[in-house]
Amino acid sequence: MCDDTTIQIVDISTPVMNKNDRFAASNRELLSGKNIFTLNLISSPGAGKTTLLESMARFFGSKMAVIEGDVQTDRDAERVRKAGCQAWQIETGGSCHLDAEAVNHALGHMDLESDELALLCIENVGNLICPSGYDLGENLKIGLISLPEGDDKILKYPSLFSRISVLIINKMDLLPHIDFDVNRTIDECRSLNPEVMVFTISAKTGEGMEEFCGYLENQFSG
C-alpha cells in the first residue's frame, strides 16, 4: 500500500525569537530615548543577584530602578525597594527566563520620567541556560557566579559565558573556606570571550562594589 501522507516539519523557534527581538528593539528604543542604561543580570539561583542589587541600590539610590524576575513571589522586589530604589516584580508562573515582552509590560508600570533615573537593572530568573539567548533590550549582559557553585561552571554553560560583556565572581569573602580557583574561572571565560570585563566582589561585605559601581557609572554617564 502506498502512503501519500506528507510530513511537514514546522520550526516554531524562529517566529518566537522574531517576536522577542521586536519587543527587545522596542524596549531598547524606549530606554535609549530616556537615556537609561540597562543591564540584564543572569546567574543560577542563590548566586547573590538580589544581594548585589541591594548593594547597588544603596550606592545609586534614585538613579537606579530594577525589574525582578522570579517564578513566584515578590520578595526580591521588596528587598530592593527597602534598599532604596523603585522595583517591579515579574512572576513568570513557571517559565525559566524573562522575555522582552514581559519586560515591555513591566516598563509600562514603572516611573521612567525622573531626570535622575539613569540605570535599569533586570534581574533574570535564576538559570544559566534559558535566559542566555533572549535579548531583553539591554545594553549590557552580565553573568554572575559565586564561589559555592564551584569553578567549573564557565565551560559547562558556554552559551551564557560567551555572550556576556561582564563576569562577576561573587562571595569572595568565602574564598579562605572554599576550594575555588579564581584564575581558572577568569581564564576559561576569556577563552570563550576574550574581551569580557571581570569583577571579583562580595556583595554582602561590599568588597569590590565601589569598583564595579564606578564602572557602571562611567557606562551611563560617559
Per-residue pLDDT of the chain (222 residues; tens, 9 = 90+): 555 566 766 555 677 789 999 999 999 999 999 999 999 999 999 999 999 999 999 999 999 999 999 888 889 999 999 999 999 999 988 788 999 999 999 999 999 999 999 999 999 999 999 999 999 999 999 999 999 999 999 999 999 999 999 999 999 999 999 999 999 999 999 999 999 999 999 999 999 999 999 999 999 986
Three cell numbers, residue 128: 544559566
Return the domain boundaries, the chain: 13-221
Q: At the fourth CATH level, which superfamily is domain 13-221?
A: P-loop containing nucleotide triphosphate hydrolases (3.40.50.300)
pTM assigned to the model: 0.90
